[in-house]
Structure 1
């Protein structure tokens, strides 16, 4: 390729190409960057004039947080699910380490903390990812918080203070009983959001809570953690952790956007994208 284009330096990898490489890494289930870059020349090398070394890829990826965040939101704003008036929200733990030495020496001090991972019934050291999703799994709002310092209700208030994360007025937010509280529900009502949650033990249960719909946000967490590798520990500094999370959110939104575009029956299905030949054809 270089010889055909004439003498000079190899073509640089653009920001758009970097983001495409990052999404391909996640969709093809390469959680380790070194493993991915060893296989990338064979799997996707024909799609790019130049690939990055491991140090270049890691450095460029950490600096691409703003670009990936913009891409996540761009896809969310151009997918049909954005018109749905129902939003699902919840938090999920993102582990960043297991040992005491990691917690003491990590560059995530102040951001990460010990908290309860409700999905696995365990304590872990890491951050909590707050997600706002459409019923099909499209991510429309997100933030990272310290699980030890910020409660989930406070995290949602802070998220919705930023208009980009906030559902449109008239939306219905489906969540769990951890978001119960008259003050929280009144604050959401001021934003035009109706909170729907299960009844607490001290409340009468009308039996109208959509439990099946509530489970969808749990399945979105499973997709991010089980299929897209968010459960794997990584990110020793905030920029690296943020980029790692955004990689997964971007891959999920890209798949959902494409599934809507090609009228696939299952909007959150990643099966067409987890094999190199299929990824190339799409």
Structure 2
């Protein structure tokens, strides 16, 4: 199997149409004819948009017929595309989790956890008038030593970059410990299997947090670096910690996580799912094709 964009979109469409949509119950019922663009086709078109680095939907739909028209000859107008994409969020979430389960690396009892800012505005006026007010807030990014207005995305992933758990929170209302706890509590699909080692940073330090991870409900081993005020040494795999930083870099720089363009909560959530699905789809396809670097997107970012 060839590792290129056409092959990836074809394989993803077959997986969606034959397995994910019918098994997860996303088939359409009730009156009305078959839509001109099916949910499986629209999901593949959304993945192609991210991989080809089109952040603006109008620009993408003007160019899509030339780039992927040989695969998907029927396209939507911009307003319909945006509305359909928001309604497609549950399917995209189900698809990225399905592809994660189908990736061999998820069988390993090792996960990487980290949070990253998702800026949603730059001005004080935006913070007061935006429809994201209440969902987004002011938070501090220690990696860049700066404040931002937006949300915080928490990721749980494998060593090859497959995202197995995620959540979005207001950084002003929820700290990293609180967000991690709610991520694992509220949705069982985010929880790693008992006995899994979770590598994270100093943000999850504290005896209460470690006891929660090691408790009977989760049974996870928390691996983090020692704080400066801790006398007991903690062996920590810094090289492994850099893996999750590389995954975040891929999401931000290659898949445009910070250029999401979301202006309302549903739009923001959909655009984040769109990028996570694109990442998992590429890693899943790289495993199928035997690519040496599973997180590499080079084969899919051009026609």
Both proteins in one fold, TM over 0.5? yes
Secondary structure in 2 aligned to 1:255?
A: helix
CA-based RMSD of the aligned residues comes to 1.4
2:267 match: 240
CA distance in 2, matches of 1:10, 1:90: 42
2:173 aligns to what? 149
Say whether the 8 Å CA contact 2:260–2:272 is kept in structure 1: no
Query: Cα gap change, 1:185/1:12 in structure 2, threshold over 3 Å: closer, same or farther?
Result: same
2: CA distance, partners of 1:256 / 1:233: 21
Structure 2: distance between partners of 1:225 and 1:192: 32
The TM-score with structure 2 as length reference comes to: 0.86
Cα deviation, residue 123, structure 1: 1.0
Cα distance in structure 1, aligned partners of 2:225 and 2:231: 10
State the Cα deviation string for residues 192-246 of structure 1 (Å, max 9, x = none): 1000000001113636200010011111111000000011151111110000000
* Residues in 2 aligned to 1:21 and 1:273: alpha-carbon distance in whole angstroms: 13
Alpha-carbon contact 2:103-2:284 (below 8 Å) kept? yes
Q: In the alignment, is residue 74 of structure 1 matched against residue 101 of structure 2?
A: no
Is the CA contact 2:55–2:261 (under 8 Å) kept in the aligned structure 1? no
Residue 245 (structure 2) pairs with residue 218 (structure 1): yes
Which residue in the other structure is 1:260 paired with?
Answer: 287
Give the CA deviation at 1:118.
3.0
**Matches of 2:263 and 2:208 in 1, distance apart?**
36
Question: How many residue pairs align between the two structures?
Answer: 268
Partner of 2:203: 178
Counterpart position of 1:271: 298
Deviates more, 1:250-259 or 1:231-240: 231-240
Structure 1 residue runs of 5 or longer lacking an equivalent are: 1-8, 277-282
Please give the residue correspondences for 1:74-223 in structure 2 after superposition, counting only pairs within 5 Å: 74-161=98-185, 162-190=187-215, 191-204=218-231, 206=233, 208-223=235-250
Q: Which SS does the other structure have where 2:271 is aligned? A: helix
Separation (CA, whole Å) in 2 of partners of 1:54 and 1:119: 36
